């Protein structure tokens, strides 16, 4: 019997929803009540699944908790799990991303604010700063986006641990081929229309919202920009605009189907200054040809008007299905690639992140 688990991080706690043999999801009680949970991960690499939660204790600051019993109990390292070295002059403000490495059994990556990458070699209990990215000469010129100076996306090659990609708002996309020792900006072809004419294709400084990759095609990336949806077929060496046929190329999340490397999903918003769903309708747009064409999918989603935004990490695709959560506390899921949707949860706090897995 297989079981699907859905981890929903909100502004005021973490919720776990579970489903057995394709049945409806049942949402369990709140974890970390009143505590923001902007990052979660479900690590299924070992014999026992591990849940990881990046939390914000308010006055006490951010931390990472972990559970090896599906949330029955939670633990924290004896020392601060993620902390900048004293000589860095930086203080951890938020954990934005947690990613178990697909190619190194005990490695977990963490992306944080202010824009930095950390690496754990003990399954996500404690982390060390990746100095190569922190000391990159561009870092002093990165500027915070609306959500802060956040490293919100980490991509790790499925078989080669030396190949990494990260996205920083508003630094852009960077890649490494030596395990993080050195990094290069990889933003050629990504337009930054908020810059003056003649300067709209900079080496770095793009406001990247999210990047995704399929493990079967690790050289192909899909990217949602502040304005624009892009594809790269060479791991960021060049980017092609694939958003021109969408009703809007502004949005936050972008995810790739786990079974189909050419299938990608986005949820467009009206515009930068109107961050509500296009036409005030929830419609997930799916492309089955790597972004050449798009089709809206809305069966089972609420009737318009709807107004709540879907954030960059509040959409996910896994063997369990495709899911997204909204800023008014609803979560919707599809088990048929978006052809039909059902409500998984409602009346939750503001949804910040959603992750799913089959155990």
Number of structural domains the chain divides into: 1
Say if residue 317's pLDDT is above 90: yes
**Residue range 228-266, pLDDT digits in tens:** 999 999 999 999 999 999 999 999 999 999 999 999 999
**Residue range 196-220, pLDDT digits in tens:** 999 999 999 999 999 999 999 999 9
Place of tokens 């990504």: 190
Residues across the chain:
359
Contact criterion met (CB below 8 Å) for 321 and 306: no
| Residue 147: Cβ within 10 Å count | 18
Say if residue 285's pLDDT is above 90: yes
CATH at residue 212: 2.130.10.10
As given in the structure block, the two tokens for residue 111 are: 């992306």
What percent of the chain has pLDDT above 90? 94
Q: Where are the beta strands (DSSP E) in 121-178?
A: 128-129, 150-156, 164-169, 172-176
**Res. 195 pLDDT band, cuts 50 70 90:** confident
pTM for this predicted structure: 0.97
Q: Which domain covers residue 158, as residue numbers? A: 3-358
Say if residue 1's pLDDT is above 70: no
Give counts: helices (H), strands (E), the chain: 1, 28
Say if residue 305's pLDDT is above 60: yes
Dihedrals phi, psi of 279, to nearest 5 degrees = 60, 20
Return the DSSP state at 133: H
**Residue range 3-24, pLDDT digits in tens:** 999 999 999 999 999 999 889 9
């Amino acid at each position: 019997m297989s079981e699907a688990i859905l981890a929903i991080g909100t502004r005021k706690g973490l919720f776990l929803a579970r489903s057995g043999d394709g049945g409806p999801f049942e949402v369990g009680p709140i974890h970390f009540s009143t505590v923001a949970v902007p990052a979660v991960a479900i690590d299924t690499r070992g014999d026992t699944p591990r849940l990881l939660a990046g939390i914000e204790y308010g006055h006490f600051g951010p931390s990472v908790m972990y559970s090896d019993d599906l949330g029955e109990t939670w633990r924290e390292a004896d020392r601060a799990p993620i902390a900048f070295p004293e000589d860095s002059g930086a203080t951890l403000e938020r954990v934005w991303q947690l990613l178990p490495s697909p190619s190194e059994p005990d490695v977990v990556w963490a992306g944080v604010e202010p824009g930095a990458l950390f690496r754990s070699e003990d399954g996500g209990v404690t982390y060390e700063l990746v100095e190569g990215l922190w000391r990159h000469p561009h870092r002093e010129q990165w500027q915070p986006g609306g959500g802060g100076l956040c490293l919100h996306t980490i991509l790790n090659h499925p078989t080669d641990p030396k190949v990494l990609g990260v996205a920083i708002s508003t630094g852009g996309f960077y890649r490494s081929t030596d395990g993080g020792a050195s990094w290069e900006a990889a933003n050629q072809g990504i337009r930054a229309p908020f810059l003056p004419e003649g300067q709209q294709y900079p080496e770095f400084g793009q406001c990247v919202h999210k990047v995704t990759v399929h493990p079967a095609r690790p050289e192909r990336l899909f990217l949602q920009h502040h304005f624009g949806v892009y594809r790269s077929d060479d791991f960021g060496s060049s980017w092609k605009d694939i958003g021109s046929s969408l009703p809007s190329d502004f949005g936050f999340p972008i995810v790739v189907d786990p079974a189909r490397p050419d299938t990608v999903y986005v949820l467009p918003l009206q515009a930068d200054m109107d961050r509500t769903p296009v036409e005030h309708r929830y419609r997930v747009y799916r492309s089955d040809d790597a972004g050449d064409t798009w089709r809206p999918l809305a069966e089972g989603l609420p009737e318009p008007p709807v107004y709540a935004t879907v954030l960059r990490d509040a959409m996910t695709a896994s063997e369990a299905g495709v899911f997204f959560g909204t800023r008014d506390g609803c979560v919707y899921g599809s088990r048929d690639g978006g052809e039909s949707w059902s409500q998984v949860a409602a009346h939750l706090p503001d949804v910040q992140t959603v992750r799913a897995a089959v155990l």
